[in-house]
Amino acid sequence: MIKTIESIGRSSINIFVTLRATLLLAAGIILRLFSRRAYNSASRMVFINQFYFTSVQILPLFLFVAVIFGTMVNGMAFQVIKNLGLTDYLGRLLMGFVVTEIAPFVTVLLIALRSGSAINAEIAVMKVNRELNTLKIFNIDVIDYLFVPRVMTGMLSMVLLSSLFSMTVLVTGIFISSAIFGTSVDDYTGILLKSASLPDIVIVLIKCATFGFFITLIPIIRGLNASEEELTSIPVAVLNGMVRVFIAIVIIEVLSSIIRFI
Amino acid sequence: MTNNTEFKVGLFIIITALLILASIGYVAYKKDVFSKTYVYTLSSTTGENITEGTPVVFWGFNIGQVSSMELTDSGVLVQIKIPERNNRVIRAGSRFVLEKPLLSSSRIIVYTDNLNGLPLQESAVPELTVSDDINELIKRGQSIAEKLDMITNNIASITGDMSDPQGDVKRILKNADKVTALLAEKNSLGEMLMGNDESVRSIEEIIKIALDIAERTEEITGRLEALTQEAGEQLYGGEGILTLVREILDELTVKLAKVEITLDNLNKTSAETVDATEDLSLLREDVDETVSAIRNLVDDLDRMIPFKAESEIKLP
């Protein structure tokens, strides 16, 4: 009985400590994002390399996925709408479902799988190799040098790539709607504009930035939790980090839906 | 490598950021975010079915929306925002009606009779009337329901009557059955038309008697012709048989004349019944033939026995 209570208490303390450390680190990174000192030449180089790896290198694959996905989703959605006679809801479906829900979700999955896992492994390796300690010895702020550029990259990449995904899907929709409904470009854009809402677009952009923040912050934190004595802690850290990233994605998705619809 | 990477990253960020900005700017422009908007205040007795964002519609086009609502002592003040490009339809004589469709969200309809009239002042507070479509529909529905109720009652009455063995429909069908059965019987036509079978029977008896008399008369005539030569005096005398026969025939002629009148009336009565008319015509023809035969017979008798002109009969 006492052991059970101790176990519950220990777990609660661990969760609290971890959460506190996470929140403190998140707060520190957020504060540094608005600090000019964080944007030095070294940080800028890290940012450019990380951004190149996260957004530019993935671009051909990302656009290919966007076109394929857009064609598939648009084709199915348009056909269903046509069969059900719900053509009035075409704009709402595209703007309310594809742009605000599907595009950020697909983008965050791609970036989390590719860049999030890489960041997690990189930080864990640096931790195991004690590179982080070395940087501290040289009085280099790891938050400014390592974390802020990556978090900044994650946020910016999410916003840009998600927007690109949405635009690709909507442009694909022009051809699909022309083929299925025979609508002109003007009619199609008119339908989209009718359903477009600036507050919704702002919420989507904020959601994308939040996604980007957490899919880089969580791998960084999990990477920092890797043990300095064991190389095997690296894959464990990556595994834990990716699971938490997925949980964070689901929670953010739910919260954003609550904010949008309530 | 670094320069190349920096260039690619910079190019990607610039192009994507421009695309995003252009898209948002286009949406904002089309949503009249950058254009001047006119704010008008409408007074309403209720804020029911009005929310922020309720569309303002003119000729089926959204020209603006409700921006805010305020509760006051005298009612509800509803502020609507109209973009500059749509403001030309808002005139001093414009009427604002809150429409509450049954199946969709409510909207404010603008009615402007004179589009060239004076523009509505932003300080003016026109009234927002309520078009209670739901209640009107309910009223219409009630009248329709009443009519449907009546129709249903009628149908129920008809079906009930049909199912009732003593009902009107059954009676009509029975009568129709009787009529058709009677019509099928040729002998009963006269009875149907005259209303009782006694008259018909009497007519038939008369006809039979007439036919019998005619036959007997023919027989008698034959005998008379045979006896004429032998016993002319006995036959042609004032108390003779032929005189008696003639009286009988005269009497018969009078009776048949009466029958003829009766048949004429019957013929008139049955003018609408084609079959009956045909049957009566046939009957009439039979009677006419009989009468004609009797008359011919009487004429023959007259010719052979000239009772009026000559008192003496010349024997052959």
State the nearest Cα–Cα gap between B6 and chain A, in angstroms: 6
Phi-psi sector, B141: left (phi>0), alpha (psi -120 to 50), beta:
alpha
Q: Are residues B247 and B264 in the same domain?
A: yes
Q: Does residue B77 belong to any structural domain of this protein?
A: yes
State the nearest Cα–Cα gap between B126 and chain A, in angstroms: 28
User: How high is the pLDDT of residue B137?
Assistant: 64
A201 — pLDDT class (breaks 50, 70, 90): confident
Domain span at residue B126 reads 34-131
A108 — pLDDT class (breaks 50, 70, 90): very high
Task: Note whether B6 contacts A: Cβ–Cβ < 8 A.
Answer: yes
Do B6 and A55 make contact, defined as CB atoms within 8 angstroms?
A: no
Q: Are residues B204 and B289 in the same domain?
A: yes
Task: Note whether A62 contacts B: Cβ–Cβ < 8 A.
Answer: no
Give the number of domains in chain A.
Answer: 1
Task: Note whether B208 contacts A: Cβ–Cβ < 8 A.
Answer: no
Residue where one domain finishes, among candidates B168, B184, B200: B184
- Between residues A145 and B280, the one the model is more confident about: A145
B47 — pLDDT class (breaks 50, 70, 90): confident
B266 — pLDDT class (breaks 50, 70, 90): low
Task: Note whether B264 contacts A: Cβ–Cβ < 8 A.
Answer: no
The tokens for B312 are 């003496």
Do A163 and B6 make contact, defined as CB atoms within 8 angstroms?
A: no
State the nearest Cα–Cα gap between B51 and chain A, in angstroms: 15
Residue in chain A closest to B19 (alpha carbons) equals A164
Candidates B2, B19, B30; nearest CB to A193: B30
Q: Are residues B96 and B196 in the same domain?
A: no
Q: Does residue B274 belong to any structural domain of this protein?
A: yes
State the nearest Cα–Cα gap between A202 and chain B, in angstroms: 10
Mean per-residue pLDDT over chain B, rounded = 76
Q: Does residue A48 belong to any structural domain of this protein?
A: yes
Q: What is the largest CA-CA distance in chain A?
A: 73
Q: Are residues B234 and B160 in the same domain?
A: no
Write down the pTM of the prediction: 0.59
> For chain A, what is the radius of gyration of the CA atoms?
22
Do A160 and B16 make contact, defined as CB atoms within 8 angstroms?
A: yes
In this model, does residue B189 exceed pLDDT 70?
no
In this model, does residue B307 exceed pLDDT 80?
no
Residue where one domain finishes, among candidates B95, B116, B131: B131
Do B9 and A45 make contact, defined as CB atoms within 8 angstroms?
A: no
Q: Does residue A230 belong to any structural domain of this protein?
A: yes
Q: Does residue A32 belong to any structural domain of this protein?
A: no
Q: Does residue B243 belong to any structural domain of this protein?
A: yes
User: How high is the pLDDT of residue A209?
Assistant: 93
Q: Are residues B115 and B161 in the same domain?
A: no
Q: Are residues B212 and B145 in the same domain?
A: no
* ipTM of model: 0.81
Q: Are residues B179 and B192 in the same domain?
A: no
Q: Are residues B53 and B112 in the same domain?
A: yes
Q: Does residue A220 belong to any structural domain of this protein?
A: yes
Task: Note whether A59 contacts B: Cβ–Cβ < 8 A.
Answer: yes
- Between residues A123 and B134, the one the model is more confident about: A123
User: How high is the pLDDT of residue B316?
Assistant: 47
Chain A and chain B share a number of CB contacts under 8 A equal to 46
Q: Are residues B53 and B153 in the same domain?
A: no
Do A193 and B2 make contact, defined as CB atoms within 8 angstroms?
A: no
Q: Are residues B107 and B70 in the same domain?
A: yes
Candidates B5, B24, B30; nearest CB to A201: B24
Q: Are residues B299 and B206 in the same domain?
A: yes
Q: Does residue A245 belong to any structural domain of this protein?
A: yes
Domain span at residue A129 reads 39-261
Residue in chain B closest to A59 (alpha carbons) equals B12
User: How high is the pLDDT of residue B103?
Assistant: 67
Give the number of domains in chain B.
Answer: 3
Q: Does residue B316 belong to any structural domain of this protein?
A: no
Q: Where are the alpha helices (DSSP H) in B119-273?
A: 133-163, 168-184, 189-194, 197-230, 232-236, 241-269
CB atoms within 10 A of CB A128: 20
Residue located via tokens 């008359």: B295
Residue in chain B closest to A51 (alpha carbons) equals B9
Q: Are residues B61 and B85 in the same domain?
A: yes
Residue in chain B closest to A54 (alpha carbons) equals B9
A172 CB contacts (<8 Å, ≥6 apart)? A66, A67, A70, A71, A74
Task: Note whether B5 contacts A: Cβ–Cβ < 8 A.
Answer: yes
Please classify residue B100 by burial: count the beta carbons closer than 10 Å to its beta carbon, then call 0-12 exposed, 13-18 middle and 19+ buried.
middle
Residue where one domain finishes, among candidates B184, B214, B247: B184
> Which residues 30-59 of B have a C-beta within 8 angstroms of A?
30-31, 33
User: How high is the pLDDT of residue B309?
Assistant: 46
In this model, does residue B279 exceed pLDDT 50?
yes
Please classify residue B198 by burial: count the beta carbons closer than 10 Å to its beta carbon, then call 0-12 exposed, 13-18 middle and 19+ buried.
exposed
Q: Does residue A240 belong to any structural domain of this protein?
A: yes
Task: Note whether B186 contacts A: Cβ–Cβ < 8 A.
Answer: no
